[in-house]
Amino acid sequence: MNLSQLESEIGRYFAAGPAATGDPAAMTAFLALRSALETGEVRAAEPDATAPTGWRVNAWVKQGILLGFRLGVLEEWAAGGLSFVDKHTYPARRFAASDGVRLVPGGSSVRCGAFVAGGVVCMPPMYINVGAYVDEGAMVDSHALVGSCAQIGKRVHLSAAAQIGGVLEPVNAIPVVVEDDVLVGGNCGVYEGTIVRKGAVLAAGTILTRGTPLFDLVNGVVLRAADELPLIVPRNAVVVPGARAVNKGKGHPQSEAWGLSLYAPAIVKYRDGKTDLSTTLEELLR
């Protein structure tokens, strides 16, 4: 079936609720969607120059992913001496050398329904969840997570223990987007639909959420999520963890109290030749 037909079928079976369980036609539609996700033919979100964020959410794709959980039944799997139990609709993906994906031994897993392009390097242990899209030349380093429906661009490096949050519900919510050529440092966390624009650098330990204000020291502005718009990290921004003093109540530094400060990520510069030089190590690892 073509994509228009598939979208219609997914919407119909999703709306049917529990009545779709056990319907072979519903399973056929779901498996067609899962296959299309793995080939990159469809995406949970995709670039759209007409959208305010530059990205469009495909809610019907998320409906189809949720449909897969509804249709699935618990099944046992074994890998060596390890055993697993999960919905039979979402086993782990298997790759061939012809796929061009380096999945290094050591306990990593990519769930069926995720797209992983040629040239991607997966260092153990890491995890890529259903609906995620990881584009050419990206590296997913040890202990990194690519959450459900997250969109990872070309040549992105997700450093060790980086966490890219996922989202399935509500179905119209934008997932986390990390655009091309972004470096995400170790132990970073990017959550709640945050968009990191092309070429940005997140220093180790940076945490970004919808409720996190981002202080642009270069331009003297504070960037925030607003209404339907998520937090957006500007193109080529270099973001580091920071702190700001609490100036109210018990937290005031001049009061005889706690002298607290709050986490406050800051843009300290915009990427230049020196920053690029510090990231050339990425190419040596490929």
Report the candidate in 183, 101, 179 with the shortest Cα–Cα distance to residue 137: 101
What kind of architecture, by CATH, is found in domain 3-71? Orthogonal Bundle (1.10)
Q: Is the distance from CB of 120 to CB of 102 less than 8 angstroms?
A: yes
Mutual angle of helices 24-39 and 3-15, in 10-degree steps = 130
Q: Give me the CATH topology for the region 100-271.
A: UDP N-Acetylglucosamine Acyltransferase; domain 1 (2.160.10)
What pLDDT does 254 receive?
Answer: 62
pTM: 0.93
The length of the chain is: 286
The conformation of residue 50, written as its DSSP 8-state character, comes to T
Reduced DSSP (H G I as helix, E B as strand, rest coil) percent helix, strand, coil of the chain, to 5: 20, 30, 50
Q: Do domains 3-71 and 100-271 have the same CATH topology?
A: no
Task: Enumerate residues 6+ apart whose C-beta is below 8 A from 126.
Answer: 108, 140, 141, 142, 143, 144, 145, 146
Residues forming a β-bridge with 183: 157, 201
Q: pLDDT (tens digit, 0 to 9) for every residue of the chain, 286 residues total?
A: 799 999 999 999 999 999 999 899 999 999 999 999 999 999 999 999 999 999 999 999 999 999 999 999 999 988 778 899 999 999 999 999 999 999 999 999 999 999 999 999 999 999 999 999 999 999 999 999 999 999 999 999 999 999 999 999 888 899 999 999 999 999 999 999 999 999 999 999 999 999 999 999 999 999 999 988 999 999 999 999 999 988 776 656 565 667 788 999 999 999 987 767 565 545 545 5
Q: Is the dihedral of CA 169, 174, 179, 185 positive or negative?
A: negative
User: What beta strand segments (E) does 8-101 contain?
Assistant: 45-47, 55-57, 74-79, 82-87
Domain ranges of the chain: 3-71, 100-271
Taken in order 235, 237, 239, 243, is the CA torsion positive or negative?
negative
The helix/strand/coil state of 95 is coil
- The closest alpha carbon to 161, from 139, 144, 175, 182, belongs to 144
